[in-house]
Amino acid sequence: MNLWVDYKIFSLLFLSPRYNAKVKQLIEGIKDRPYYDTIYQLLSLSEKEYDKISAEFTSCFINDFPHVKCPPYESWYREKTVLGLSAQQVIEKYSKYGIYPQKQLADHLSTELEFVSFLLYVDKVDEAKEFFKEHLLVWTPKLVQDVLNYSKGEYTKLLGLSLKQLIELSSNTLLSS
């Protein structure tokens, strides 16, 4: 099972709701996945209530008072800082492939998901497994818990549930093959 499309979709979902049109173009590639229906619900919600879900996304992941509840950064979950050692470690991994993040910080969830998508796409499965195990698997379960506990609406809760399913599927497929 090649999961590169899955990781690309999740990278876009965690980048911003404004990329949901691109997700819609890719969604047929994951029809047999456990999170297909959930992502389809996310897309439907964003078409109906874009402003509301954008505000919800911002509140959960970008800016909220008195602080962001679910900052999507590996350094935050591993070191309680931004741009910490974890960020430097992923930058080293990216630079081996000539990749330098442009849209987000290096240890942002979207960037890390995009990198796994790239590795799987270019058939660097062992490297993708290693990155998943050393990075995503270490901190995203805690992020998922925070999203499920602190989300203020259906969109972010569904996003957290679908990420949990991706991590579980990846654990069962990437790490077992």
* Residue range 90-132, pLDDT digits in tens: 999 999 999 999 889 999 999 999 999 999 999 999 999 999 9
Closest CA to 3 of 166, 158, 177, 168: 166
Confidence of residue 177 (pLDDT cuts 50, 70, 90): low
Confidence of residue 4 (pLDDT cuts 50, 70, 90): very high
* Mean pLDDT over each residue of the chain, to the nearest integer: 95
Determine the average pLDDT of the residues in 26-55: 96
Domains and CATH numbers, the chain: 4-173 (1.10.3480.10)
Instruction: Sort residue 98 into left (φ over 0), alpha (ψ -120 to 50) or beta.
Output: left
At a CB cut-off of 8 Å and minimum separation 6, what does 20 contact?
A: 12, 13, 42, 43, 46, 47
pLDDT higher than threshold 90 for residue 175: no
How much is the pLDDT for 129? 97
Dihedral sign computed on CA atoms, order 33, 35, 39, 44: positive
pLDDT value of residue 103: 84
Q: What is the pLDDT of residues 51-89, one digit of tens each?
A: 999 999 999 999 988 889 999 999 999 999 989 999 999
Which pLDDT belongs to residue 75? 97
The reported pLDDT for the residue numbered 65 is: 81
Mean pLDDT of 173-177: 81
State residue 49's pLDDT score: 95
What is the distance between the alpha carbons of residues 82 and 8, in angstroms, rounded to a whole number?
24
